[in-house]
Amino acid sequence: MSSLFDLRGKTAIVTGASTGLGQGMSLGLAEAGADVVLVDYVESTETDQKIRALGRRTLMIVANLMEMSSIGMIVEKTLKEFGKVDILVNNAGIIRRTPAIDFSEKDWDEVMLLNSKTVFFFSQGVARDMMKRKEGKIINVASLLSFQGGITVPSYAASKGAVAQVTKALANEWAKHGINVNAIAPGYMATNNTKALREDPVRSKAILDRIPAERWGLPSDLAGVAVFLASHASDYVNGHVLVVDGGWLAR
């Protein structure tokens, strides 16, 4: 059974890999045997050091994913270094919190660009290589707000709804090529994006009161999920949005 989850010899690209969920998933993939290309707008030095300590290879690429041209550059560098792309984790994202009545066009466009447009075109970029080998795993990071509307985050909710639908659309077209496209929908996780919520005693209590697990999620909670979706254990899982939320949606 353990061989189903073995990622030795695989190459993964993880965006937003320097901290938080991206770091947690990168470490999980490396622990399962994968070499990891760490993409972020800052150097992922901490993640890089931890993965190298596991005996895996890494490639750090600093890039601004707001610029679509960076996607081709990242894929090209990965192919030059490792020869193939087996796994893509579309994790990079931003959130802007403003009441809908005051939400700016700039904030709307930037969130939609990074959180949803990048997911599609990065997936397209790696799929061209995956199709040649009839094998590949694409993992998109959705959200509870792929299902719910949230408060004061209209563009984030819209972008994560788009992630869920793009995941299904790509799975419909690419499953026949041996490419599994799925998504992880994290619940309320202890990351930089939720710092303001966790520091607000009223909002934090309201959130925790609804989570059956009675705690905020941790980046490590996504490690095993990422390995499952990146491995042969999930070969017949296509177009699924896997919720990892401590039971939030079940309430």
pLDDT of residue 194: 86
Q: What is the number of other CB atoms lying within 10 angstroms of the CB of residue 61? A: 19
> Which one of 41, 156, 188, 236 is the catalytic residue?
156
Which band of pLDDT confidence, cut at 50, 70 and 90, is reported for residue 196? Answer: confident
- In the structure, what pLDDT confidence band is assigned to residue 155 with cuts at 50, 70 and 90? very high
Note the pLDDT of residue 1: 77
In a domain, 38, yes or no: yes
> pLDDT tens digits, residue range 63-113?
999 999 999 999 999 999 999 999 999 999 999 999 999 999 999 999 999
Report the 10 Å Cβ neighbour count for 8.
10
Q: Give the pLDDT of residue 123.
A: 98
Which strands sit side by side in the sheet containing 35-40, from one edge to the other?
58-62, 35-40, 11-15, 87-90, 136-141, 179-186, 241-244
Tell me whether residue 205 is in a domain.
no
For the cut 90, the answer to whether the pLDDT of residue 134 exceeds it is yes
Q: Is the model's pLDDT at 2 over the cut of 80?
A: no
Residue 157 included in any domain: yes
Q: Does residue 11 form part of some domain?
A: yes
Residue 201 covered by a domain: no
- With beta carbons less than 8 A apart as the criterion, state whether 37 and 44 touch: no
The answer to whether residue 197 scores a pLDDT higher than 90 is: no
Residue 156 annotated to the active site = yes
pLDDT of residue 143: 97
Report the chain's mean pLDDT, rounded to a whole number.
Answer: 97
Q: What is the reported pLDDT for 234?
A: 98
250 found inside a domain: no
CATH code of the domain containing 234: 3.40.50.720
Residue numbers of the domain that contains 26 = 2-191+218-244
pLDDT of residue 31: 98
Mind listing the pLDDT tens digit for each residue in 23-48? 999 999 999 999 999 999 999 899 99
Number of domains observed in the structure of the chain: 1
Q: How many C-beta neighbours within 10 Å does residue 209 have? A: 9
Average pLDDT estimate for 12-24: 97
Provide DSSP, 43-62. --HHHHHHHHHTT--EEEEE
CA distances to 92, 102, 123, 209 from 195, rounded to whole Å, are 17, 22, 29, 18
Q: What average pLDDT score do residues 167-190 get? A: 98
Asked if residue 211 is part of any domain, the answer here is: no
Q: Give the per-residue pLDDT at 138.
A: 99
